[in-house]
Structure 1
Amino acid sequence: MASPRPARHRALLVPGYYDGYLQKQETKSKKLKGFWTVLRGNELFFQMTSRDPTYIEKISLDNFVSVENDESQKNSFILKLKSGDTKLQAVSLEAREEWKGFIHTVGRLEVPDMDFLPGQIHRLQDVLEEEVKRCQKTASSSLSLSPPQSGRTTPEPVQSDYDDVENDQLSCFYKISRVEAQTLLEKNVEFGNMLMRPSSDGQNLSISTLQALKNNVIVKHYRVRCADNGYVIEIEDGIFCKSRQEIVDIFIERTKGVLKPLEVTTDYEINLSIAQEDAESGELIHQKIHTATQSPTKTSTELVKAKLSPKIPVILKPKVKYLHDNGNPKEPLPADPKICQQAKPFQSNTLPALTSAFNKELNMKLMMRRTAMCD
């Protein structure tokens, strides 16, 4: 009997701080099962693929205790919560350390004291800032943040109050957070280096830019305030714009084309495939499904043959009519002239009927010959 299909749920509109491939130990079988994992807010979402908008399982970090290495298996670590421990395994040692750093930052609301590069520490600080703002925004009057050592309780996130005010949506506009914008720009340098997004307060806009110069990556964010009759770019003395497109045009013009709008093309699958779990290793295998085209029906085949086959002309033979008297054939009548015209190449060689005068002359000669022979 096939195992029941796991239930899927749609993720809420929560900013994603970190994502990657993780293997999670199942509670019953104790086997590792691979998922695409996304750290959204203070929760770990386990999905089938990176493009899947739904998730199969999630782990809340409200009761976070610590995250420690697991020396029994390579690249694995233990997520310790008050409700229990969960074993996870990353694809590499570097990925394991980054997962530990991001989980600790979100769970404890502090940047961990780990051996990270300056760029990684800067990302963790941005994540901490975004998470604190998210918690403050979603906190209700009856709920507040608890001290880190005793855990914390975070209310369910609510949808942003940000609403589109223009119908001409830009291709470089993305509803993502500051951290997600930096990650998106870093991974898609060939498609552009500037994007527009909602600001962290949910009421205004922001422009995020990235420039890669030799070994240096420079990321900047610009605030765009929404006014009653347009927008104001808060740089220098402020630049007023009537539309979002004008905002983008100003950034392109002022930088002389150095900044280009990020337009990431959407990838679609060209083959039909399904994901199956390997019984032994637990890994996901994408099996391609071959779709065979239906053969034409018998009736359609016959119609095609009839259209392609040449028409054979029908040969009409001339018909000769005879008058019968006491069963003896008499003078043949000529064939129908219409039929003779249609079948002219196949006319009969039959002699035409003799006239009465010619018959009399012939009979007279025969009688004279018989008389001469009798004499």
Structure 2
Amino acid sequence: MMAKKPPKPAPRRIFQERLKITALPLYFEGFLLVKRSEHQEYKHYWTELRGTTLFFYNDKKSTIYVDKLEIIDLTCLTEQNSTDNNCAKFTLVLPKEEVQLKTENTESGEEWRGFILTVTELSVPEDVSLLPGQVIRLHEVLEREKKRRIETEQLPSTSPEKEGEPSEDYVDVLNPMPAMPRIKHYKVSNVGKNYTIELEKPVTLPNLFSVIDYFMKETRGNLRPFIYSTDGNFETEGLPVTTLK
């Protein structure tokens, strides 16, 4: 049975190596089961969405991708009924093939669907069932992808004599994004009269004020509660950059 806990991101050293190889900004990552048109069965990959390309790795620690899929010309994304209520299945319909994807749980499936549609349609889908912080991430990725495409279009062609020929190389610009707030979600369960933060080592506290105080102290003030203003705007200033385990 597949794990239901959100996967941890790849270590920073591996992230930097992949960044050099792909030369594309990372928008989302996680485990995916993938079945391409030439395959009879699903293959399990650690997958990164960089720009409008899915890069597939044998595991989370691999620095070299074993396959990739360009999805900029995505025709549609169709959801499929799954016999397993704990996972999500959908199909990417592309001009030359259809690719079936299966996620480890329904929440990650909704995230993958949201990020894929955001970068291919250049708009945040309205029908995704995500938390406010996750929706903010979609809007951030949308702005980054729009900027990336504008900068790419402004680049002069490096091989004018090969214009019109298909190419497997990327002509892209990677601008390091300035440090920005990150929003992390932590599950807090009400157990009797106490509250339990579901970490690798669960922490039980007597009330919600103690929960907030715990996050503030453990991260030295770097992790703070998400604030949603009454006028419907998301307040992101000063949000978390530190995670708990």
Q: Where on the TM-score scale, by shorter chain, does this alignment land: which range?
A: 0.5 to 0.7
Q: Is the 8 A contact 2:36 2:98 kept in 1?
A: no
User: Which position in structure 1 is the counterpart of 2:137?
Assistant: 123
Aligned length: 175
**2: CA distance between counterparts of 1:97 and 1:120?**
10
User: Which position in structure 2 is the counterpart of 1:23?
Assistant: 33
Aligned match for 2:96, one of 49, 73, 83: 83
**Structure whose alpha-carbon radius of gyration is higher:** 1
1:140/1:216 CA distance change after superposition, 3 Å: closer
**2: CA distance between counterparts of 1:186 and 1:28?**
38
Q: Is the 8 A contact 2:223 2:241 kept in 1?
A: no
> How far off is 1:22 after superposition?
0.4
Aligned match for 1:43, one of 53, 72, 78: 53
| 2:75 partner SS | strand
What are structure 2's unaligned runs of at least 5 residues?
1-17, 158-169, 187-214, 229-234
Q: Is the 8 A contact 1:109 1:128 kept in 2?
A: yes
> How far off is 1:110 after superposition?
0.6
- CA deviations on 1:98-133 (whole Å, 9 max, x unpaired) are 100100000010111213332222211111001001
**2: CA distance between counterparts of 1:124 and 1:260?**
17
**1: CA distance between counterparts of 2:57 and 2:46?**
5
Give the TM-score taking structure 1 as reference length. 0.40
Percent identity between the two aligned chains: 28
> How far off is 1:62 after superposition?
2.0
> How far off is 1:65 after superposition?
1.3
Q: Is the 8 A contact 1:22 1:36 kept in 2?
A: yes
- CA deviations on 1:194-214 (whole Å, 9 max, x unpaired) are xxxxxxxxxxxxxxxx5423x
Aligned match for 2:120, one of 103, 107, 110: 107
User: Which position in structure 2 is the counterpart of 1:32?
Assistant: 42
User: Which position in structure 1 is the counterpart of 2:172?
Assistant: 157
**Following TM superposition, where does structure 1 have runs of at least 4 consecutive aligned residues deviating by more than 6 angstroms?**
259-264
Q: RMSD in angstroms over aligned alpha carbons? A: 3.5
Q: Which has the higher contact order (CA 8 A, sep 6+)?
A: 2
Aligned match for 1:93, one of 106, 113, 116: 106
Structure 1 residue identity aligned to 2:81? E
1:122/1:32 CA distance change after superposition, 3 Å: same
Q: Is the 8 A contact 2:32 2:44 kept in 1?
A: yes
> How far off is 1:47 after superposition?
1.2
Q: Is the 8 A contact 1:192 1:261 kept in 2?
A: no
Q: Is the 8 A contact 1:15 1:177 kept in 2?
A: no
**2: CA distance between counterparts of 1:109 and 1:178?**
23
**2: CA distance between counterparts of 1:82 and 1:29?**
18
Give the TM-score taking structure 2 as reference length. 0.59
| 1:112 partner SS | coil
- CA deviations on 1:65-93 (whole Å, 9 max, x unpaired) are 12121115541111111121100000001
- CA deviations on 1:147-186 (whole Å, 9 max, x unpaired) are xxxxxxxx621344xxxxxxxxxxxxxx55667x626x77
Q: Is the 8 A contact 2:46 2:58 kept in 1?
A: yes
User: Which position in structure 2 is the counterpart of 1:212?
Assistant: 224
- CA deviations on 1:229-280 (whole Å, 9 max, x unpaired) are xxxxxxxxxxxxxxxxxxxxxxxxxxxxxx999699xxxxxxxxxxxxxxxx
* Higher fraction of strand: 1
1:105/1:263 CA distance change after superposition, 3 Å: closer
Structure 2 residue identity aligned to 1:220? E
| 1:182 partner SS | coil
1:77/1:216 CA distance change after superposition, 3 Å: same
What are structure 1's unaligned runs of at least 5 residues?
1-8, 144-154, 161-174, 194-209, 222-258, 265-375
